[in-house]
Structure 1
Amino acid sequence: MSSIAVTVVMPALNEAGNLAGAVANVLDSFRHRQINGELIIVDDGSSDGTGAMADRYTCVYDNVRVLHHENPQGIGASFWAGVSASAGEVVVMIPGDGENDAEEILRYFPLMEEVDIVIPFVYNSTMARSLGRRFLSIVFREIIKAGFGLSLNYMNGTVMYRRTVFEGIELKNEGFFYQSELLIKTISRGYLYAEVPCALRQRGSGDSRATTWKSLKRVASGYIQTFSDIHFGTKRSGIAKGTATARRSGDLQKWNG
């Protein structure tokens, strides 16, 4: 097992007004939960000084690292870059906009003893999301259910993964559909997961880019790509060794002896 238990990957695009609070929140949560964790900030081509601000944290904290993209590549590309550089047994994306309290998802870290994926759903959406955003979430959930037979409360949150579940998976979506792609591909392989309630906060400054027309077009393109991969691509199977799913499968085989 890695000496680092959790890697938080923090994509940040022009989040100079929010980054300090987001970083402090993650590091405080590591201490409060007594988790040996690392934080990887991914500056996704920011033009507001976010990258320089992130670099300063590496001079203060030995468990903070920074990756830089010369130009914006997308939240999915940022997360995947962080995963590739991570040392933690568990990885989770917490964006640099301050909307997500790290405590809300890291409180469920002990669940990773029993499952390989912990999927949060927002229980205070009426307070934290606009009516239009909630409507889009409902429509999105039904489209995913219809296309993939996967019924989850929420698919775009701060999902915790055991890093080894990504073995053999090629992430093709660089935008906001990336989380749905990963959940569809890992769950379809049979990995055990749990859904848990989490609260969402209001972002400190700036506007979310999740529902811009550009983002929505990339989501539609990602859906089509993933639909093609799942229904017409090469079927991939196999559970990684050392996962909770592998342990449970071994237990079942012993019981059925």
Structure 2
Amino acid sequence: MPDTDKLMGDHPTISVIMPALNEEAHIALALQNTLDALDHFSIPGEIIAVNDGSRDRTPQIVEEFMARDPRVRVIHHEKPRGIGASFWEGVDDAANEIVIMLPGDNENDPWEIMQYIRLLEHVDIVIPFVYNRGVRSVFRNILSFVYRSVINSTFMVNFNYTNGTVLYRKCILKELEYRSASFFFQTDILIRAVKKGYLFAEVPYRLGLRLEGKSKAVSYPSLLRVARGYLRLVRDFYFSKKSKVAKDEFVAGSSTSRRYATENTLYKVKK
């Protein structure tokens, strides 16, 4: 059996990507909670706040945190580019081996997902699913059910949830050729990575109650972009020859490559 402490090191390192668009009412608590969670679990890490064209005090609040804690950095967008684009820019700028997206609206509890970080010694993706669905409206739960059913049936998977605070090994993200810039980006990543054969685990996750404002995910422009992302993924999955990637090649440094190298010498590791 492999020494799991050596697979990731004694202290796995994480880059938290925090997109924020006009979140002056929530960003300070989102940043502080994330820093506290890193301290609680003794996880060396950083927060890359992505100010996605905010017109309120969001950037000033982030810069105040930067002055107090060197773990906080910021990327500024002059105009909104979308949560997916913000995530990918954070990935490219991330210094650590694990990445996660925690929105700046403070709806997500960083303690809930940080407790699962050691699972990445065995898999490359940790996917949370919401178990306290009662905090969301009936409409939002119905919408989520329909969305999940369409995704699972279309791509022959069985995910419980695909739009949460997913933990990724950065190395598997860097090899993806397509990057969705919309709210569909998490689903797009998961389908492409899991269909290629990367190992994942699903874990229960408690969602916080939104006290102010409305989710930016449930709007006509966002839903339209999600529909476009879905159609692009259908095209790539079923009709594009370029998407037919060999399932037995995994990027070096991934947990999947190590496990197959140990258990099945027929599988190759991409150099």
Question: TM class by shorter-chain length?
Answer: over 0.9
Per-residue CA deviations over 1:148-206 (Å, capped at 9, x if unaligned) read 11110000000000000113213442111010000011111110000000000012422
1:104, 1:208 → 2: CA distance? 20
Per-residue CA deviations over 1:91-143 (Å, capped at 9, x if unaligned) read 000000011000000000011101100000000011x1100000011101111
The equivalent residue for 1:243 is 254
Q: Which runs of 4+ in 1 moved over 6 A?
A: 1-4
Question: Which of 93, 108, 112 is 1:100 aligned to?
Answer: 108
Answering whether residue 80 of structure 2 is matched by residue 72 of structure 1, we say yes
1:20, 1:236 → 2: CA distance? 42
The equivalent residue for 1:190 is 197
1:54, 1:120 → 2: CA distance? 27
Per-residue CA deviations over 1:77-101 (Å, capped at 9, x if unaligned) read 1100100100110000000001100
Q: 1:212 to 1:144 in 2, by over 3 A?
A: same
Question: Which of 66, 75, 97 is 1:58 aligned to?
Answer: 66
Answering whether residue 5 of structure 2 is matched by residue 6 of structure 1, we say no
Structure 1 unaligned segments of length 5 or more: list them. none
Q: TM-score, normalised by structure 1?
A: 0.95
1:145, 1:241 → 2: CA distance? 29
2:95, 2:12 → 1: CA distance? 6
Q: TM-score, normalised by structure 2?
A: 0.90
Q: Residues 127-138 of structure 1: matches in 2 within 5 Å?
A: 128-138=135-145
2:89, 2:211 → 1: CA distance? 26
Structure 2 unaligned segments of length 5 or more: list them. 1-7
Answering whether residue 121 of structure 2 is matched by residue 113 of structure 1, we say yes
The equivalent residue for 2:172 is 165
Out of 157-166 and 244-253, give the one that drifted further.
Answer: 244-253
Answering whether residue 222 of structure 2 is matched by residue 211 of structure 1, we say no
The equivalent residue for 1:223 is 230
- State percent identity of aligned pairs: 45
Answering whether residue 263 of structure 2 is matched by residue 252 of structure 1, we say yes
